[in-house]
Chain A
Amino acid sequence: MKHNKFHIGYELITGYIYRITIFMLTLSGFAQMPIFKRYYIADMPGLGWLSKFYVTLYLHYLFGIIFLVFTACIITDFFLTLRKKYKITASGYIRVAILAGLTASGIILVIKNFAGYYYAPVFIVVMNLIHLGLVFIFLITGFTCIILKKNWMRDWTTL
């Protein structure tokens, strides 16, 4: 019983962290483009920070850190305990693949921002477009899964 309560609490907390992190990553990510000031969004009370490029960059990095800690924790947890009880669903695999692409392209772009790191200019353009494109794909997939009530994982016993 204790074990079940722990798991329900764990899933709730991880669920909230995940949603907040994805929301903030998306918002601060879009703020890397000069659009929020142009389209008056940064003029709305409390949203002025969206037009400050360094603030949104630091936030994007900060939530990137939280996302990576969270993701590594979930992956490790899955291999140590969860896989005995749960199976990743097809929609789960699709979302994992998109997130893996987003993470990989994001890490490449973070490394590019260190002093002394050079990539071919075309490669950087492609990485930027892949990163942006995957965000759109992830948002569409995510909302579709919410509407269709598709879970990431499924209990082995229900199969």
Chain B
Amino acid sequence: MNDKPLILVIDDEEAMRDSCTQILVKHGFRVETAPDGQSGLEKAASLKPDLALIDLKMPGISGLDVLNKIKEIDSEIISIVITGYATVESAVEAMKRGAYDFLPKPFTPEELRIIIRRALERRELAREAEKLKREKKLLEENFITLVSHQLRSPLIAIQQYFETILGGYAGEMSPQIKDMMLRAKERIKDLLQLINDWLDLARINRQELVTRFKPVGLQALLQKQIETFMPLAKESSITINLEREASSDTVMADEQSLEQALANIIHNAIKYNRPGGKVIIRLWEKNSSLAIDIEDTGIGIPPEHLPHIFDQFYRVPLTGRGMTKGTGLGLSIAKKIIEAHDGRIEVKSVPNKGSTFTVILPLARTP
């Protein structure tokens, strides 16, 4: 310990104060004394002792009241009561009011020393535990951020080397080396995507999302998504159409998250489509909700797999040589985000004809 612990002795008997002081100073404590409850409380407030030794039977403010008030001054001060009339009742009462322990008179110097040591050690442990608890909480709160940084940093450094090498800034490569480097770069990119997806999933938290809710117009949001995905769709000659049947298109949402949820579904509708296929996005009203259909003309999902497609890392086994990439988390993320918006997601699918995902969100109340 860095400082000598300070003990405050509150007792109306001078002999008692003196002998306690003598014993405690000898054992390396600092001691302050007070002859009555009132001055004892004043000293407790101004000196913030580590421990108070309180005589229960004093004129003026009683020992039990002093005990209560010391707790109010500083809950960290440990109180030990000295009971002249060593009855079980008074000791029990003192313990009930938050005394750490009691010491019946008369007591030996050794008894006093032991009880004080034990009380201080106990407090030290409680403080340590409290500190650890706080650190753990802080770590938990920032865990995702820390993990995110730790996991992503090395991968991004690797990606930067690939960019530089493949850009030809580190000298010539044989076609074979270049081919392998390109493949390695793709794998790193997939891994980074997996980490990003997983972190997104861990991070989506309704309480946090709600703080960012504002009215969002779905038509504009979907239009923007379509523009984003157009280049990818064109690669497979897929058309994307937006049909609006709803009069209002406003929902309360965290725009960025909702965008991500819908993007994941639209991306799938393109990825699992057939060349020359269609994606139809339909905005319609259903009771007091808005529904968004995302319909594709793709490979569909066999019925036995439908119940699992929102599970984390679940991938529908693909027949044929259709090698598709993805982390198996896209739909889990979408579902979690939509549910955080008090919405739900449904799916219908016919193998080899296509799937329709329907996102249902509560309509924002018009003022």
Specify whether A and B are partners. Answer: no
B: which residues have CB within 8 A of A? none
A: which residues have CB within 8 A of B? none
